[in-house]
Amino acid sequence: MDSIYAGFGNGAWLQVRRISDLTEEQRERLRAPANADIAINVIRPAAGGELPLRRVFQDKQGNEIDEIDIWKYGYDARQRAWYWATMRADRPHISEPYLSFSIGAPVITVSAPLRGKVPGVIAADLKLDSFSKFVQAQRPGEHGTVMIFDQAGSLIAHPGYSDLITSAMTHPTRSSLPSIDELNTGTVASVIRGSYNKDNYEGDIDDPAGS
């Protein structure tokens, strides 16, 4: 689990994230000090409707070592898919894979509605690149490859998961990851073989039978 957080109907947001396992690039995006182990993000709505962020960094012992304020952070939990999908369903929800707003890593969100004085959603993120590395460490045999699909058939674990989701997010004609329904197509065959690249992806769209 990458983080746990809660968003509220008034725009407030609180997140606790473990950052010790993040890459250097992801830590730089958070402006994390070298010895930071935890990042606590808090958004408190201002009188004019602005949503400024305060990020507090703690070490492994829970001591505060730094903090930053970002007035125009640009994050409104109420406009995020994990929030409105959960509120609309009014029950626990599991998102499709997407890129995290703050660190750009592929995640899925498990969420549930909060029913109190201020309505909201409580959620947790599973960081899929880390999950894929963990899964691949359990692969069958020296040359085996493990892929995992969720209940909707979406790919959530693969050795090259970060590259797959980046291409899916930026490809003009293909905006989703390979699904379990495509197991007989060239797209997923190339993924299984580990020979996936963007050119293969484009070719498989034009030629569903593969080349």
The whole-chain average pLDDT of the chain stands at 78
Q: What is the pLDDT of residue 107?
A: 82
Does 109 score more than 60 pLDDT?
yes
* Residue range 107-120: mean pLDDT, rounded: 90
> What's the one-letter identity of residue 57?
F
Domains belonging to the chain, first-starting first, are 3-128 (3.30.450), 138-206 (no CATH)
* Residue range 16-38: mean pLDDT, rounded: 92
* Residue range 136-164: mean pLDDT, rounded: 67
Residue 96, phi then psi, degrees to nearest 5? -75, 160
39-95 pLDDT, tens digit per residue, is 999 999 998 889 999 999 999 999 999 999 999 898 999 999 999 999 999 999 988
- Continuous segment of H or E residues that includes residue 135: helix 128-137
Q: What is the pLDDT of residue 174?
A: 47
Residue 6, classified by CB atoms within 10 Å of its CB into exposed (0-12), middle (13-18) or buried (19+), is middle
140-153 pLDDT, tens digit per residue, is 677 677 776 766 66
Give the residue with greater pLDDT, 110 vs 136.
Answer: 110
Does 193 score more than 70 pLDDT?
no
Q: What is the pLDDT of residue 152?
A: 62
Which pTM was predicted?
A: 0.68
Map residue 118 onto helix, strand or coil.
coil
Instruction: Using alpha carbons, select from 144, 143, 172, 168 the residue that is nearest to residue 155.
Output: 168
